[in-house]
Amino acid sequence: MGVPIRVTLPAGLATVIGALPHLNPFDASRVVRELLPGLPAGPTIDLRFTEGDVDAAADGSSVASLDDDRLAAVRSFLGELRGRVEPVVLSLTGPVTIDLGLMQRGVERERAASLSRGYVESWARAVIDLSTQMLPGAPLLLFLEEPGLANSMHPTFPLSPNEIEGLVSGVVEPLSPDAMVGVQVSGRADWAMLLRTGISVLGAPISARLETAAAELGRFLEAGGFIAWGAVPVDEPLGSGVERLWRRLSALWADLAQAGLDPLLLRERSIITPAAGLGSFGLSQAERVIRLTGELSERVFNQVVGARLSIGA
């Protein structure tokens, strides 16, 4: 296995992880590409199984290929960026969410885990290969979307921490030499455990108690990892400007600094995102969220530049 890829990013780049606005995927990716040019995000690939997919996955006939119709929107997104050498973001459903869906359909526990890992890895490999083919100079940030992991610390959650760690790391490790692989969760989870899975980026809402894993976050950042802070909520009124959102993010960073994290490193190794995907949003709502994400991103970048100047960096 090769060495995990590492990429240098400007502080506080803005992007979207997950589903794009409720348009056709070609128009949706154009909107995000225009509004977030620093780290554009393509349309997500929803891999959750439908009827008949279980047997197809078991016999290998559902393994992704570069000519699969489900990659058409991603191919179009990458085609519009030909010649780009800066990073891009793509995302697809993660193995825990798929595993939970399989078990709900009655698939036996160990078989569900094996199917979900293999299915996600094959699709992720197809996405990486397509990105490499079309944008050979652009690093890829590939996010595994895990809505199923929200509130997974509850004692009734159907998977143990060890099972979750095995599912995620089993997909992340073989892909890490070729892409920066991240996990995005839209609610609270066992952050310390996820940081042990080999990911390069952790995406989470800032309301999801990330401070409970302060020590692990510090080690993760020092080792070259990034946090994609879900700093723009998608489930509450946004108000008239970015000031309230900036105060929330700054307060969390202050708490983490008080817990021993380097306050400059927190900002330098940050990505700013909405708290979850935007698939249920209309265009005007989504644009509002994306613009606020961009404004927060500018504040982070300017703060880092100011801090570097003040210490002569």
- Kindly give the confidence (pLDDT) of every residue in the chain, 313 residues in length, as a single tens digit, with 9 standing for 90 and above: 455 777 889 999 999 998 877 667 777 777 888 889 999 999 889 887 665 566 665 555 555 666 677 788 899 899 999 999 999 999 999 999 999 999 998 899 999 999 999 999 999 999 999 999 999 999 999 999 999 999 888 888 999 999 999 999 999 999 999 999 999 999 999 999 999 999 999 999 999 999 999 999 999 999 999 999 999 999 888 877 899 999 999 999 999 999 999 999 999 999 999 999 888 888 888 889 999 999 999 999 999 998 877 766 5
pLDDT (0 to 100) of residue 259: 95
pLDDT (0 to 100) of residue 126: 93
Q: Compute how many other C-beta atoms are within 10 angstroms of the C-beta atom of residue 211.
A: 16
pLDDT (0 to 100) of residue 286: 87
What the chain holds in terms of domains, given with CATH numbers, is: 13-310 (3.20.20.210)
pLDDT (0 to 100) of residue 62: 55
Stated pTM of the model: 0.92
Q: 263-287: string of b/e by CB count within 10 Å (b at 16+)?
A: ebebbbbbbbbbbbbbbebeeeebb
In SS3 terms, the chain reads as: CCCCCCCCCCCCEECCCCCCCCCCHHHHHHHHHHHCCCCCECCCECCCCCCCHHHHHHCCCCCCCCCCHHHHHHHHHHHCCCCCCCCEEEEEECHHHHHHHHHHCCCCHHHHHHHHHHHHHHHHHHHHHHHHHHCCCCCEEEEEECHHHCCCCCCCCCCCHHHHHHHHHHHHHHHCCCCEEEEECCCCCCHHHHCCCCCCEEEEECCCCHHHHHHHHHHHHHCCCEEEEEEECCCCCCCCCCHHHHHHHHHHHHHHHHCCCCHHHHHHCEEEEECCCCCCCCHHHHHHHHHHHHHHHHHHHHHHHHHHHHCCC
pLDDT (0 to 100) of residue 1: 46
255: tokens are 């708490």
